[in-house]
Amino acid sequence: GDALWWAVVTFTTVGYGAISPASVAANFVAVTDAMVGLIAVALVTGLVFSRFSRPKAHILFSKNALIAPYKDGKSLQFRIVNERSNKLINLEVQVVFSWTEDQGSEATRHYVALKLEREKVTLFPLNWTLVHAIDEDSPFYNLTPDRLQQMNAEILTIVQGFDETFSQTVHANNSYMADEVLWGYRFNKMYYSEDGVVRLELDKLDEVTKV
């Protein structure tokens, strides 16, 4: 018994001084307390580490979505950019348009996936402007700003990609309400080339020009 108490005290670095357990029962309580303390610290450390080590995509979304000129018509556009310098590959985007319709005494919410000009990029080194062409098949066809407000419309976006730093899949999401959609604007350029070096200016993410 004395050898067991000594082993546990040494292993747990309790290091008794002037006060120490003098009976079997007291030693049992001391051993139990020491082992529970070690296990509790290990569990808390593991939980905290797993929470803060979880990879997160630092993808910035433009403050507003735009109804902008596109080819011979119009399009819905918003812009994203990677805030960090890590590589994101195989980035995919899904955009869903949601609105409510009154059906009798209650309102029903509808969801429609929007078709994008490009839904996936292999590498994400610069900014990416997501474009949904507004044609006859688009739910935005013939919509007006006032009508969009009346519909309680919302544009839901989900971005998912593979982060090379953590070797894991990361994701981010955002949404635009009807009052966050600007009509008749176009995004300004975010990057320029100088001495063979491409510079990306993150503070220009939300800059637009009226057209």
- The pLDDT of residue 18: 63
Residue 100 near residue 151, CB atoms below 8 Å: yes
Q: Count other Cβ atoms within 10 Å, centred on residue 148.
A: 20
- The pLDDT of residue 15: 73
Q: How confident is the model at residue 107 (pLDDT cuts 50, 70, 90)?
A: confident
- The pLDDT of residue 193: 87
Angle (CA) 183 187 188, round 5° = 140
- The pLDDT of residue 143: 92
Does 183 have pLDDT greater than 80? Answer: yes
Does 9 have pLDDT greater than 90? Answer: no
- Rounded Cα distance between 176 and 78, Å, is 9
Does 56 have pLDDT greater than 80? Answer: no
- Rounded Cα distance between 192 and 40, Å, is 54
Task: Kindly report, residue by residue over 18-36, the tens digit of the pLDDT.
Answer: 667 888 898 888 888 888 8
Place of tokens 């292999």: 122
- The pLDDT of residue 131: 97
Does 198 have pLDDT greater than 80? Answer: yes
- The pLDDT of residue 159: 95
Task: Kindly report, residue by residue over 130-157, the tens digit of the pLDDT.
Answer: 999 999 999 999 999 999 999 999 999 9
Q: How confident is the model at residue 118 (pLDDT cuts 50, 70, 90)?
A: very high
Does 16 have pLDDT greater than 70? Answer: no
Place of tokens 């700003």: 145
Does 62 have pLDDT greater than 70? Answer: yes
Does 182 have pLDDT greater than 90? Answer: yes
Which stretch of DSSP H or E encloses residue 29? helix 24-52
Q: Count other Cβ atoms within 10 Å, centred on residue 61.
A: 20
SS3 8: helix
Q: How confident is the model at residue 125 (pLDDT cuts 50, 70, 90)?
A: confident
Between residues 50 and 187, the one the model is more confident about: 187
pTM comes to: 0.74
Q: What is the DSSP letter of 179?
A: G
- What phi and psi, each to the nearest 5 degrees, are found at residue 38? -65, -45
Average pLDDT of the chain is: 89
